[in-house]
Structure 1
Amino acid sequence: MSSTIPRSTSTVTVRAINAGKITFLPASLFFEPVLPGYEGLSGPVYTFLIEHPTKGKIMFDLGMRKDQEKYAPMVQGFFDRFRELGGYDMGADEGETVSEQLVKGGVELGSVNAVIWSHTHFDHIGDISTFPPTTELVVGPGTDLRTYPEHEDAHLVESDTAGRKVTELSFSNATLHIVDLPALDYFGDGSFYILDTPGHQAGHISGLARVTPTTFVLLGGDCCHHVGDIRPTPLHRSLYPCPASLLQSATHSLCKSHFPEIASEPLLKIPPPPAPSVYKDYEATMRSLERLVRLDADPDVLMIIAHDGTAPGVVEEFPGTVNGWKEKGWKEKLMWRFLEKDGGGWRFG
């Protein structure tokens, strides 16, 4: 399947930065079914430092900011409504922001040429004002870049865009497609592609980094919020059969009224209209996921979504790299980890 990706010997180095944590969001906004006792959602917030050997560094997403009172009033309203929905809360870890982690790890913020936002939700935009004006901001097509206070209903504030170059990508004339998704060759040498993956929000994009000539890391952003939204499929089960002991244990523990069996279709579903959902365009979301499944099942592609609760403890975090994921067997460890009760993704019984 990776044969659908153009060949190249150019590669980048990818480092995963855990930039915070989301806790106790109403899970029903993200997937269904939601069983009693699993009404909340908790997960990391992954961002990525991507380094090209000759063309510099870029960031893919920035996570959350600590000073949440500086988000736009519209975002503050989201926080209030989430709390009203069931007493849930959200917030950044008490740990370091992306900027703080970079500096501590010896990366000068001025060396980051661009920040790419997968989309403009609060847990992805971080605080780009900590980067110098020379750092470009790159966003997907149709991204709402209005800012508060000029626009009271804006998600962004002036410091999110002021004083720096902002580039809105366009896929309208894209001649390259990867698994039928319009794609842009960011560095022009096949080392890093940006994929058009709309649905969760207008302008949502994903990244595909070549970390060796034949292996890749897919930066999924918020294409989905739990790997159970895309696993299993017949493709997954044919390429990565679930270990018999894990399958037996998971099947025994399943809530049979909601999950009769572990079949060949994803255990979780994106909430379809008219159910409340964080996915603004249901049909576009499903089209994007149908294509991304082909990459997720590819033995040469490791997919990391922004809030994958199964990744911590397996994916090495900054300052380490993810480039050696295949030789380290991360995909085999992660593929079915959501069915392990202590694997960070269990919510099925």
Structure 2
Amino acid sequence: MIPPSTSTVVVKALNVGQLKCLPASLFFTPVVEGHEFFSGPIYAFLIEHPVKGRVMYDLGLRKDSESLSPAVHRHIRSLGGLSVREAMEASTDVLEKLTKGGVDLGSVKAVIWSHTHLDHTGDMSKFPQTTELVVGPGSDLRTYPSDPNATLIESDLAFLTSYMHLSGRKVTELSFSKGSLRIADLPALDYFDDGSFYILHTPGHLAGHVSALARVTPTTFILLGGDCCHHTGDMRPAPPYETHFPLPKHIAQDVALLRTPMLRIPSRSVYQDVPKTNETLRKLTKLDAHPDVLLLIAHDSTVPGVIDEFPASLNAWKEKGWKDKLMWAFLKRESKGFRFGKSAKL
């Protein structure tokens, strides 16, 4: 499924904010009494290649929400009647966190956006001209104020000069149409051309959505899912998990429940294309169910407190048993990921 290689990267997780109070019905169904709202962390990831330098996968949310385009403010208000600040917050600036952790922003060769939503794009203008911006195919790169309905602003595609003027940066829109590489039936690109880091085309949530697969030892991987889903119950359980990660039998004796994800993507949701989302999740399940792959999505509330965070590395995840701790964590009533309540069939 994944081509063999001995080349690896180092992956580090930066917890840079929080989705605070959005209607859970926008992200998954069913929603039961007592669990009407969704909250979760906002993760960005630093990838370090031993020869080809550093890249970021996502940047989280910018702290100066007043700089966001009017279209973004209108969109967030339409979701649940809340302002951006009420719905989410940047607890720290990812750039400040990198700098305090000893990372020179000039050493970051590229920033890969999983997609162009505000809680992933951060503030690109603070990176130097040498930092390339990489986006998935079909990403909406219109900017405000040139386009009054754009969700991005001009500085998202530019950098600040020493005279505090904006100047354009290199923006690369990935194409998967010419390549033949596929991982888990998903179109893939070998980013560093050595098998250490792959970009996967994972459409559904938003046009241009991409995930990443990082090889952290010759045989173990971290799957950075972005917003392929917002709760791992959208994927688990399913038949591929039965070999290595069967649903705990005390949870349910119903055979159908043992083989069907606990949650589903709603027809009216934050997912632009629900059928494509479901197809993407079906394919990603093949990776998530593998004992040598750790899935980390951007807003999984069960992850904080389990994994090591920046400046520590995630590479030793298998020895530390994080996958076993996280796989069914959302079924524990004390977990922040528990969404089922007394009325759920557990």
Q: What range is the shorter-chain TM-score in?
A: over 0.9
- Report the counterpart of residue 265 of structure 1 in structure 2: 260
| Root mean square deviation, CA, Å | 1.9
In the alignment of these two chains, the number of paired residues is: 332
Distance in 1, matches of 2:79 and 2:180, equals 41
What code does the residue aligned with 1:14 have? V
Q: Structure 1: which 5+ runs fail to align? A: 253-258
- Quote how far apart the aligned CAs of 1:33 are: 0.6
Q: Is the contact made by 2:77 and 2:83 (CA closer than 8 Å) also made in structure 1?
A: no
- Report the counterpart of residue 112 of structure 1 in structure 2: 108
Q: Is the contact made by 1:195 and 1:205 (CA closer than 8 Å) also made in structure 2?
A: yes
- Report the counterpart of residue 233 of structure 1 in structure 2: 238
Q: Deviating runs (4+, > 4 A) in structure 1?
A: 85-88, 259-262
Q: Structure 2: which 5+ runs fail to align? A: 159-167, 342-346
Q: Percent identity?
A: 60
Structure 1 pair 91–318 and aligned structure 2 pair: CA distance change class (3 A): same
- Quote how far apart the aligned CAs of 1:23 are: 1.0
Distance in 2, matches of 1:83 and 1:334, equals 29
> Does 2:90 correspond to 1:66?
no
Q: TM-score, structure 2 length as denominator?
A: 0.92
- Report the counterpart of residue 269 of structure 2 in structure 1: 277
> Does 2:37 correspond to 1:47?
no
Which residue among 284, 292, 295 is the counterpart of 2:287? 295
3-state DSSP class of the match of 2:314?
coil
- Report the counterpart of residue 135 of structure 1 in structure 2: 131
- Quote how far apart the aligned CAs of 1:178 are: 0.3
Aligned positions of 1:18-37 closer than 5 A: 18-37=15-34
Q: Is the contact made by 1:119 and 1:204 (CA closer than 8 Å) also made in structure 2?
A: yes
Which residue among 335, 339, 349 is the counterpart of 2:331? 339
Q: TM-score, structure 1 length as denominator?
A: 0.92
Q: Is the contact made by 1:200 and 1:222 (CA closer than 8 Å) also made in structure 2?
A: yes
- Report the counterpart of residue 255 of structure 1 in structure 2: none
> Does 2:312 correspond to 1:326?
no
What code does the residue aligned with 2:67 have? K
Q: Is the contact made by 2:65 and 2:85 (CA closer than 8 Å) also made in structure 1?
A: no
> Does 2:183 correspond to 1:181?
no
Task: Return 145-154 or 76-85, whichever deviates more.
Answer: 76-85
3-state DSSP class of the match of 1:77?
helix
Q: Is the contact made by 1:24 and 1:88 (CA closer than 8 Å) also made in structure 2?
A: no
Q: Could you report, residue by residue, the CA deviation over 1:118-156 in whole angstroms, capped at 9, with x for unpaired residues? A: 000000001111111111000000001000000011010
3-state DSSP class of the match of 1:238?
coil
- Report the counterpart of residue 144 of structure 2 in structure 1: 148
Distance in 2, matches of 1:57 and 1:195, equals 19
Q: Could you report, residue by residue, the CA deviation over 1:199-241 in whole angstroms, capped at 9, with x for unpaired residues? A: 0000000000000000000000000000000001122133113
Distance in 2, matches of 1:35 and 1:86, equals 25
3-state DSSP class of the match of 2:88?
coil
Task: Return 336-345 or 293-302, whichever deviates more.
Answer: 336-345
Distance in 2, matches of 1:87 and 1:111, equals 31
What code does the residue aligned with 1:220 have? G
Distance in 1, matches of 2:201 and 2:256, equals 33
Distance in 2, matches of 1:316 and 1:343, equals 18
3-state DSSP class of the match of 1:284?
helix
- Quote how far apart the aligned CAs of 1:35 are: 0.7
Distance in 1, matches of 2:227 and 2:307, equals 18
- Report the counterpart of residue 154 of structure 2 in structure 1: 158
